[in-house]
Structure 1
Amino acid sequence: MFEIFTRPPADPVQLPLTFSPWPVTLIVAGYLLFVLKLGRLFMANRAPYDLRTVLRVYNLFQIVYNGTLFMLAIYVIFVGRPYNLNCITVLPQDSPFKTLERVLSYAYYINKYFDLLDTIFIVLRKSYKQISGLHLLHHLYMPITGYYVIRFNGYGGHLIVAGVLNLFVHVVMYSYYYISSQIPPANRRFWWKEYITLLQMLQFVIVFAHTIWTQMQPNCEVPRALTYMSLFAATALFLMFANFYTHAYILAKTKKKHFND
């Protein structure tokens, strides 16, 4: 029954935060404790921190980080072409692209820990309404899933499509954050803000479709468990983002229209 926990790692190269579940467990637990309890206690008698400069630097960092990984991944997939896009499996150890696949996958995984800073900054600014259930679940899901995928599947493989799409979405999202931080709140009129949510939903549709296509391929060695996890995650996240979009934009516009009438 517990063989799955004693099984050797899928990849012989064990990098920090990939060799044991304890680091990710402690980090995620500490994150939750700070966001839901300790951070709010710390800020109880304090004014919100002015983090405008910090956030600008952070957003630029995320744009460069995600943008660099995105371009490198596109190069590997479409120029190096080591993958069969109908059935993307983890590259063998002797592949000339193996080291690059490992580096890109690991860098993507580590970035999910940097993403936790989003919520930390929200707490320090006392903007607690921004911490929704969707926000928390999404930030918890990514590092935890990242660890277990690397642990049992290895670096790269089928989920590289989801990763590349997510990198692109993050470049767009953090670009929006950076641009909006440069403009006074009273002058912010970004009609395309809601389309970022639609872009996030589109990525889940593509991931779902690609996974179904992968399952249809004969003799494809992508683990079935991985495809089922991908389908479940894409469906669940799509529904949650769709619910957010409905309440934040469709219903909000309807209420505003009725109010103006």
Structure 2
Amino acid sequence: MALVLKKLYQGYFWVFDELSDKRTDDILIFKSPLCMLAIQASYIYIVKYLGPKLMENRKPFNIKKILLVYNTLQIFLNAFICYKACNIMAPNLFGCGKINYSTDEQGLSELSISLQFLSLKILDLMDTVFFVLRKSYRQVNFLHVYHHVAMILCLWIGARFFPGGVGMWLVIVNGFVHVLMFTYYLLTALDSSWKNSIRLKKALTQIQLIQFTIFIIIFGRTLVDPSCEYPKLPGYLLVPQNCFMLFLFGDFYVKEYIFKKEKNN
């Protein structure tokens, strides 16, 4: 047992000494995985236990003005970071090159976008807090919470070890999808009748399914293309993760828009 613990201890420091991006060493959230885990644990505790407990004897809050500001801000932030990532990828859009760990303009730009995108995903956690404040507990389900937690974990690993390269596609695709999603949320905040549009909600779920399929193809290529210089480790993480997300969202889509429709008919 002592030998196993020693190997784990040595492995931990080998990972952070040899594999991590040294440019992120002084950033607080990267000093230890415990910082990231603390954010995730606090999020789960607040939205699944503390929040519902505090709201138990309270009426749902009217936070329409907050939602209008928040959703508008999210639309512009996601559009901006998507635009920046597109500019970075434009010279070699379909390439599969290695990550630029240097301190030149290209390398620092890719690192900056990776850090900004991680920050944006942390901001996304407020979605669930707003659901709790409105007592919309049906939306605080396993799929929703797991998606947020998994995104932060993957992007923390990406920004700490693999910032840039093919990973910019994750920023481009996910940023674009979130522009569409937060536009929908903004419309529902302005007029609740938009929530009744089954066609629109169905289309957003289909877009999510397409997104996960794109990620499986992009990062699957890094595993099978011998000419690809991008590290394989992100592919080993992201391909199974996106397959799982494809299964979860696919299961939701079938139950919500196929079986339920047949039952109603």
State the TM-score, normalized to the length of structure 2.
0.89
2:134 alignment partner AA: R
Change (3 A) 1:4 1:161: farther
Q: In the alignment, what sits opposite 1:142?
A: 151
DSSP-derived class of the 1:65 partner? helix
Q: In the alignment, what sits opposite 1:171?
A: 179
1:207 & 1:213 partners in 2: Cα distance? 10
2:82 & 2:159 partners in 1: Cα distance? 19
- Where does the alignment leave 5 or more consecutive residues of structure 2 unmatched? 1-6
Q: 1:121 aligns with which of 116, 127, 130?
A: 130
1:138 & 1:45 partners in 2: Cα distance? 29
DSSP-derived class of the 1:17 partner? helix
How do 1:1-261 residues align onto structure 2 when only pairs under 5 Å count? 1-2=7-8, 3-6=10-13, 7-8=16-17, 9-14=20-25, 15-78=27-90, 81=91, 83=92, 85-151=94-160, 153-185=161-193, 188-189=196-197, 191-257=199-265
Q: How many aligned positions are there?
A: 253
Change (3 A) 1:187 1:71: closer
Q: Deviations over 1:35-91 (max 9, x none)?
A: 11111111111111011111111100110110000011111111xx2x473414211
1:140 & 1:112 partners in 2: Cα distance? 9
Runs of 4+ in 1 over 4 A off after TM superposition: none
DSSP-derived class of the 1:229 partner? helix
**C-alpha displacement of 1:24:** 1.3
Identity in percent: 28
**C-alpha displacement of 1:10:** 2.0
Q: Deviations over 1:117-168 (max 9, x none)?
A: 11111111111111111001001111122222233x2322332212211111
Q: Is the 1:86–1:213 Cα contact (8 Å) retained in structure 2? A: no
2:93 & 2:196 partners in 1: Cα distance? 44
1:256 alignment partner AA: N
Q: Deviations over 1:192-236 (max 9, x none)?
A: 221111111101111111223232322433222221112101111
Pick the structure with more helix per residue: 2
- Where does the alignment leave 5 or more consecutive residues of structure 1 unmatched? none
State the TM-score, normalized to the length of structure 1.
0.90
**C-alpha displacement of 1:30:** 1.1
